[in-house]
């Protein structure tokens, strides 16, 4: 066989390798040249009769051809592997431009945001936060608050009574957060019993009690369930002036408006004397100039102080009850209270 025969052998190997479409085809093609009875192997065997010199040059030439065939084989193997990998990548392709599946993001209800704000502001003024039951007894909701048996607020018309309840057991949905005045004060007095018995001054009661309240009422500005936040400050020397300072401070901070004006308008509540409704007036914005009622308030009635377990000759203070729902409406310019409780996500998501 001459040199160009070796060249054409290499060429035919390259062609056959190129035609091999799969690794198996390629291994078969390889066997035809490099296998036990392949053509290169046969050439090697054919050298047996040659002289030493001829073996040397012939062997070298066959080796060059063998190496060329092996190189072609390796290149084709690599090419087939690359092609397979490309196929696989294509089949398992991830479209990273596809938007991810998101879970809806939750957020706080606007009234909850207001309650947090209220707690923060009163917290900074040294008020504790208390929570109490929404199903109350006659005693805490009415009687202890100096509200007589025949008070109209007790009528079926205004109050949700619980079926099977008795005046001694919880029997109604609280109509305001004022029962928390008594509940919290009684606990406070119990905690400081020893000091009181020794005639020592008791630490002041300074607390707010936010929560849900219920009345038989339903229109654009009233909901059968609504929120209130009670405030109570009792000490030996707490005056109506303190109420004015504290509540004015609160409102100006809450509405972020230093020129907000407050008006304490004489009113009546069985559990305060004197009593006042608190109105606020914005100096600018869409509500400028209008008086808006935000709370009931007053100096705690001596009978109520007594029901707290304290001597009304020594302890005195003020209480207020405000409407966080109303404050939320004013702060965000919402005109229908029912929007807060319909659960419409399109409305609620605007507060996030």
d(CA 89, CA 174): 66
Based on C-alpha coordinates, what's the Rg of the chain?
A: 45
The answer to whether 269 contacts ligand PHE (rule: CB under 6 A) is yes
* Identified binder of ligand PHE from the candidate list 38, 170, 296, 324, rule CB under 6 A: 296
Give the count of residues interacting with ligand PHE (CB under 6 A): 10
* Separation of alpha carbons 74 and 17, rounded Å: 10
Segment contacting ligand PHE (CB under 6 A): 13-21, 23-31, 164-172, 294-302? 294-302
Among positions 102-121, residues that touch ligand PHE (CB under 6 A) are: none
In the complex, minimum distance from the CB of residue 257 to ligand PHE, in angstroms, rounded to a whole number: 24
Chain residue at closest Cβ approach to ligand PHE: 321
CB of 320 to ligand PHE, least distance (A): 5
* The one segment of 29-37, 132-140, 252-260, 315-323 that binds ligand PHE by CB under 6 A: 315-323
> Are the CB atoms for 293 and 247 separated by under 8 Å?
no
Interaction between residue 214 and ligand PHE (CB under 6 A): no
Among 38, 170, 211, 298, binds ligand PHE (CB under 6 A): 298
CB of 298 to ligand PHE, least distance (A): 5
Which of 32, 267 has the CB closer to ligand PHE? 267
- H-type alpha helices, the chain: 3-19, 23-34, 39-45, 52-91, 110-124, 138-141, 179-191, 193-197, 240-254, 302-307, 324-332, 345-348
| Nearest-approach distance from CB 345 to ligand PHE, in angstroms | 31
Q: Would you count residue 272 as binding ligand PHE (CB under 6 A)?
A: yes
To the nearest whole angstrom, how small is the minimum distance from the Cβ of residue 253 to ligand PHE? 20
Q: CA 77 → CA 23, 32, 156, 232, 269, distances in Å?
A: 7, 16, 92, 87, 95
Q: Does 320 bind ligand PHE (CB under 6 A)?
A: yes
Q: Output the DSSP codes for 196-256.
A: HHTTPPPPPEEEEEEEEEE-S--BTTB-SEEEEEEEEEEESS--HHHHHHHHHHHHHHHTT
Determine the Cα–Cα distance for residues 166 and 150; give it in Å rounded to an integer: 17
Q: Site residues (CB under 6 A) for ligand PHE?
A: 176, 178, 269, 272, 296-298, 319-321
């Amino acid at each position: 066989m001459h040199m160009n025969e070796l060249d054409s052998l290499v060429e035919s190997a390259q062609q056959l390798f190129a035609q091999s479409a799969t690794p198996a085809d390629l291994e078969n093609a390889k066997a035809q040249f490099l296998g036990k009875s392949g053509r290169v192997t046969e050439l090697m065997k054919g050298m047996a009769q040659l002289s030493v010199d001829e073996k040397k040059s012939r062997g070298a030439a066959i080796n060059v051809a063998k190496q060329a065939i092996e190189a072609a084989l390796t290149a084709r193997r690599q090419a087939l592997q690359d092609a397979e990998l490309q196929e696989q990548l294509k089949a398992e392709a991830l479209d990273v431009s596809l938007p991810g599946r998101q879970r809806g993001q939750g957020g706080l209800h606007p009234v909850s945001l207001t309650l947090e704000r209220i707690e923060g502001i009163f917290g900074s003024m040294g008020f504790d936060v208390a929570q109490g039951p929404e199903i109350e007894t006659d005693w805490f909701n009415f009687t202890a608050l100096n509200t007589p048996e025949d008070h109209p607020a007790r009528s079926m018309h205004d109050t949700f009574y619980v079926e099977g309840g008795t005046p001694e057991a919880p029997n109604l949905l609280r109509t305001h957060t004022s029962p928390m005045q008594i509940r919290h004060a009684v606990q406070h007095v119990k905690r400081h019993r020893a000091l009181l018995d020794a005639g020592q001054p008791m630490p002041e009661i300074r607390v707010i009690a936010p929560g849900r309240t219920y009345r038989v009422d339903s229109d654009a500005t009233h909901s059968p369930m609504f929120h209130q936040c009670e405030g109570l400050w009792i000490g030996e020397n707490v005056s109506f002036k303190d109420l004015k300072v504290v509540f004015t401070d609160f409102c100006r901070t809450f509405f972020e408006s230093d020129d907000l004006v407050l008006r304490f308008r004489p009113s009546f509540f069985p559990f305060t004397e004197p009593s006042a409704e608190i109105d606020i007036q914005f100096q600018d914005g869409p509500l400028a100039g209008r008086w808006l009622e935000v709370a009931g308030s007053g100096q705690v009635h001596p009978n109520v102080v007594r029901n707290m377990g304290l001597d009304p000759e020594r302890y005195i203070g003020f209480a207020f009850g405000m409407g966080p729902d109303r404050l939320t409406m004013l702060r965000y310019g919402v005109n229908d209270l029912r929007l807060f409780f319909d659960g419409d996500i399109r409305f609620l998501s605007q507060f996030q």
